[in-house]
Structure 1
Amino acid sequence: MIELRNLTKRFIMRGQEKIAIDDVSAIFPSGVAVGLLGRNGAGKSTLLKMISGAMDPTSGEILTTGAISWPVGFAGSFHPDMTGIQNTRFVARIYGVDTDQLVDFVYDFSELGRQFNMPVRSYSSGMRSRLAFGISMGVPFDTYLVDEVTAVGDQAFRDKSNQVFQARLEHAGAIMVSHSIGMLRDNCQAGAVLERGQMEFYDDINDAIDVHLENMRKVRPD
């Protein structure tokens, strides 16, 4: 379970305050895949980063049970001067999983080849995402935070990513951000919609999609 209590996140941009998340309270149930919808810039990635602990809220709190992944596709925690394999081993030690098993899984999954032994600073953004997604899928979590990562790579890689993700969801929940409505329908049971700093939770993903599409038909907020 993930509970948001009066969660607020403010940024100062060009001398002006922007409120991404405004006093939001909600509960994401355990074992449920939730599609997180909203306009570009609505705060979806910001919310995922706060839930993972990669970003602090301005006020409020987040209570969690079980193991929560970092935002899949977010490679900001990788050490740029360490190789892909070194970063993988480091993560394995942090989360207490078998180092060699994780290395083997990530090497096979990511399809990085010789680049797996090169410093992460030499990676393209797509390669970093492959590494991040591979490590995330190789570590067992109770809730996966997914931010558009399955769009990385060619069709064969996207198909493989979806298959692995579906297998993980048989035993875990997720909060998933995607511009693909079809992907959200296929993977999620529930939904949440961010609009003007507020969030509404829906037990049915189709209800959340309907609200989001209606919001998108309205004039974009300032």
Structure 2
Amino acid sequence: MIEFQNVSKTYYLKGIEKVILDDVSFKFPKGRNVAILGHNGAGKSTMMRLLAGAELPDAGRIRRHVKVSWPLGFSGGFNGQMTGMENIRFVARMYGEDTERVIEFVQEFSELGESLTLPIQTYSSGMKARLAFGVSMAIDFRYYLIDEVTAVGDARFKRKCDEVFKQKLKRSNIVMISHSMGSIRQLCDMGCVLDKGKLYFHDDVEDAIAHHTKNQNA
């Protein structure tokens, strides 16, 4: 379970205050696939980074009673001066995983070949995404965080990503951001709407989509 306890987060940009979360308390229900909906700029990606632990709240606590992934496809946590292989080893050790098993999986899955011996800073965005997705799939998380992108590369590689991700979802759950309501309906069974610093819970994903659509049309 993931729990927000009186969480607040505010950004200040060029003298303008932007409230992302305003004293939000919420428990993500066990065994549910959750959509996070909201207009552009509402702070959905910030909320994902808070969930992942990549950012800290200004106030309150975020409790994670289960293993939570970083946002899938997100490569910002890699050290650009280290090689792909070195980054894989570092992440595996950080999560207490069998290093050689993780390396073997990522080598086969990412199809990056000898590029894994090169520094991350030499990678294209697509190569970074392949590596990040591969490392994500190599580790068994209880919750996977999805910020729009669930697969990268050509059609064949996307099918490969979809297949391994479907296997993960048999024993894991997701928290997902997407502008595609089709993807939300396919993967999520409940939703939350982020609006003006508040988080509104809906047990039925269709109710969450209706709330979001109403906000968009207001």
TM-score under structure 2 length normalisation: 0.93
State the partner residue of 1:124. Answer: 124
SS of 2:150 mapped into structure 1: helix
Match of 1:77 in 2: 77
Question: Where in structure 1 are there 5+ consecutive unaligned residues?
Answer: none
1:216 aligns with: 216
Equivalent position amino acid for 2:86 in 1: Q
Stretches of structure 2 lacking an aligned partner (at least 5 in a row): none
Structure 1 residues 202 and 156: alpha-carbon distance in aligned structure 2, compared to 1, 3 A threshold: farther
- Distance in structure 1 (CA, Å) of the matches to 2:156 and 2:211: 32
- Which aligned pairs between 1:1-222 and structure 2 lie closer than 5 A? 1-218=1-218
Evaluate the alpha carbon distance shift between residue 154 and residue 141 of structure 1 in structure 2; reply closer, same or farther with a 3 A threshold: same
**Which deviates further from its counterpart, 123-132 or 53-62?**
123-132
CA distance in 1, matches of 2:72, 2:53: 13
Give the length in aligned residue pairs: 218
**Percent sequence identity over aligned pairs:** 48
**Which secondary structure state, in structure 1, belongs to the residue aligned with residue 71 of structure 2?**
strand
CA distance in 2, matches of 1:116, 1:181: 36
Structure 1 residue 151: deviation in Å? 4.8
Q: CA deviation at 1:29?
A: 1.4
CA distance in 2, matches of 1:81, 1:44: 30
TM-score if structure 1 supplies the norm length? 0.92
Matches of 2:159 and 2:53 in 1, distance apart?
29
In 2, Cα distance between equivalents of 1:139 and 1:152: 18
Could you tell me whether the CA contact under 8 Å between 1:166 and 1:187 is conserved in 2? no
Work out whether residues 31 and 171 of structure 1, in 8 Å CA contact, stay in contact via their aligned partners in 2: no
Larger mean CA deviation between 18-27 and 110-119 belongs to 110-119
Contact 1:192–1:200 (8 Å) recurs in 2? yes
For the aligned residue pairs, the C-alpha RMSD in angstroms reads 1.5
Please give the secondary structure, in 2, of the residue aligned with 1:75.
coil
* Residue identity opposite 1:163 in structure 2: E
Alpha-carbon distance, 1:194 to partner: 1.0
1:137-156 deviations in Å (ceiling 9; x for gaps): 11011111111222532233
| CA-CA distance at 1:211 after TM superposition | 1.5
Structure 1 residues 18 and 152, CA, compared in 2 at 3 Å: closer, same or farther? same
- Are the counterparts in 2 of residues 68 and 141 from structure 1 also a CA contact under 8 Å? yes
2: CA distance between counterparts of 1:165 and 1:38? 25
Q: Does the Cα contact within 8 Å between 1:32 and 1:172 map onto a contact in 2?
A: no
